[in-house]
Amino acid sequence: MLEADAALDRLDHLMALARRAGATAADALYIGSASQSVGVRKGKLEDASRSESEEVGLRLFHGARSATISTSDLTPRGMAEAVERALAMARAAPEDRFAGLAEAELLARPPFPETDSFDPSAAGAEPGLLHEMALSAEGAACAVPGVTNSEGGSASAGQAVMALATSAGFRGSQRGSSVSVSAVVVAGEGSGMQRDYDWAEARHLQDLEDPRLVGRSAGERTVARLNPIRLPTGRYPVLFDRRVAGSLLGHLVAAMAGPSIARGTSFLKDREGERLFPKGTRIVDDPLRPRGPRSRPFDAEGLPTHKTLLVDDGHLGGWLMDSASARQLGRAPTGHASRGIGGPPGVSASNLHLEAGAPSPEELMADIALGFLVTELIGMGVNGLTGDYSRGAAGFAIRDGAIAEPVSEMTIAGNLLEMYRGLRPANDLLFRHATNSPTVRIDGMTVAGA
């Protein structure tokens, strides 16, 4: 894996090759990563692995035509061959008058904001430490009364270097680290067995949740699922546990993405600025959050990033746009471009969260005679064009304002527009992952079971 300066030098060489070959514009992305992981089961080491990789993705333009190619051969010969193949592909591609690099005057300039994304202790975590973390997580999970088997505990750590260069003049890099721990266990016997898990991740080792707490949570979640029932079909209040409530934010981001708006394939396409959520609701995308899992000082086109209110006081904000969708919509890009090695930029959020409300989860369910607390979602039955929502679910019954017996083999259905309008957040927001939400309540969803 190259250091950041070496990666940028390699990309500069690739840009020069592209210009000499006849490209009218180009950009290139380098991603190098190294990681190691340790897995245990029933207190014994089950696997230990280490991986390293580095690749470059080249996007090359020939007038209004473009092509993207990736290669792991970073030798001068390998990169020259990649340029030749990309140029041949671009000449054969259809014209796209909206595609192109971000305008030079919009590009981010150094010094870039500091996101504190790299921790040497996490990046260089020793296998012995990871082994101890995995054992602690699994041991705590198996110590929970009622746990009968283990599918294992695991811990991993690693680092990555990302560098981006464009022929419009942008050069930037970012180095990040990560560390995680998880446990998966089983409770019950025979056909009554249940399985669940928990996991935690962080950029810095000192920020990682105690593996014993992660393991205990996995064990308690698993035992709580024993002997589930099915609720009768009807329309109930539904609470989404904070572990799954973040998925509702993911559907919102997908519908706010500029490419979907430009194609007319989003259920939000005519609703910019509308009050889509209850008054006071705020949904925040913060790419500059210190130590955030997806923090980034610039986007995949080299544009500066900034904190964005996707929803402010219940009102839907503007669209999230890369340069191509911005040109198509006659607007400016918003710094939300994302990109992998093998394709052109798309759009994504970074560190996303729904701000907490005032009531506790217990207060949020206190008036519910019969309801459903969802802790697991299954399948992806969401129609991005209409907002229709239907997913398999499991969790717990709510009876007389309290959590009751476990529930499984259910389906919940509704429409995202109606769901968002009635969404009420609790006060239990935690920042554990890239997308975070408190527990939320939505009334009147269709729940199909027995």
- Residue range 102-114, pLDDT digits in tens: 999 999 999 999 9
Q: Rounded to a whole number, what is the largest CA-CA distance in the chain?
A: 73
Q: What is the pLDDT of residue 191?
A: 87
User: Which uninterrupted H or E stretch holds 230?
Assistant: none
Does 164 share its domain with 204? yes
Mean pLDDT confidence for 391-407 = 98
Does 167 share its domain with 288? no
Does 62 share its domain with 210? yes
Q: Is the pLDDT of residue 39 over 90?
A: yes
| Digit-coded pLDDT (tens) for 266-315 | 999 999 999 999 999 999 999 999 999 999 999 999 999 999 999 999 99
Which two three-digit tokens encode residue 14? 């690739």
Does 232 share its domain with 199? no
Question: Smallest Cα–Cα separation from 57: which of 204, 213, 174, 162?
Answer: 162
Output Rg (C-alpha) for the chain, integer angstroms.
Answer: 24
Does 88 share its domain with 130? yes
Q: Using 50, 70 and 90 to split pLDDT, how confident is the model at 53?
A: very high
Given a contact cutoff of 8 angstroms between Cβ atoms, the answer to whether 439 and 423 are in contact is: no
| Digit-coded pLDDT (tens) for 184-211 | 999 999 989 999 999 999 999 999 999 9
Does 207 share its domain with 257? no
Host domain of residue 25: 4-223
Does 350 share its domain with 243? yes
Instruction: Compute CA distances 234 → 380, 409, 446, whole Å.
Output: 21, 14, 6
Does 380 share its domain with 312? yes
Residue 317: other Cβ atoms inside 10 A: 17
Does 216 share its domain with 299? no
Question: Smallest Cα–Cα separation from 364: which of 443, 419, 280?
Answer: 443
Question: Smallest Cα–Cα separation from 34: which of 120, 129, 137?
Answer: 120
| Digit-coded pLDDT (tens) for 145-196 | 999 999 999 999 999 999 999 999 999 999 999 999 999 999 999 989 999 9
Phi, psi (deg, nearest 5) at residue 53: -155, 155
Which two three-digit tokens encode residue 130? 């990871």
Average pLDDT of the chain to the nearest whole number? 97
**What percent of the chain has a predicted confidence (pLDDT) above 70?**
100
Angle at 33 between CA 89 and CA 124, to 5 degrees: 175
The domain boundary, picked from 179, 200, 223, lies at: 223
pTM over 0.85: yes
Does 53 share its domain with 75? yes
Instruction: Compute CA distances 68 → 93, 175, 318, 324, 445, whole Å.
Output: 11, 24, 29, 15, 44
Which CATH number belongs to the domain containing residue 94 in this structure? 3.30.2290.10
Burial of 281 (0-12, 13-18, 19+ CB in 10 A): buried
Q: Using 50, 70 and 90 to split pLDDT, how confident is the model at 225?
A: very high
Q: Using 50, 70 and 90 to split pLDDT, how confident is the model at 449?
A: confident
Does 276 share its domain with 393? yes
Does 361 share its domain with 426? yes
User: Which 3 state secondary structure label does DSSP give 447?
Assistant: strand
Q: Is the pLDDT of residue 450 over 80?
A: no
The domain boundary, picked from 173, 188, 223, lies at: 223
State the total domains in the chain: 2
The DSSP string of 102-163 is PPGGGS--SSPPP-----HHHHT--HHHHHHHHHHHHHHHHTSTTEEEEEEEEEEEEEEEEE
The domain boundary, picked from 203, 223, 243, lies at: 223
Instruction: Compute CA distances 205 → 84, 212, 291, 416, 431, whole Å.
Output: 43, 15, 11, 37, 15
Q: Using 50, 70 and 90 to split pLDDT, how confident is the model at 14?
A: very high
Mean pLDDT confidence for 316-323 = 97
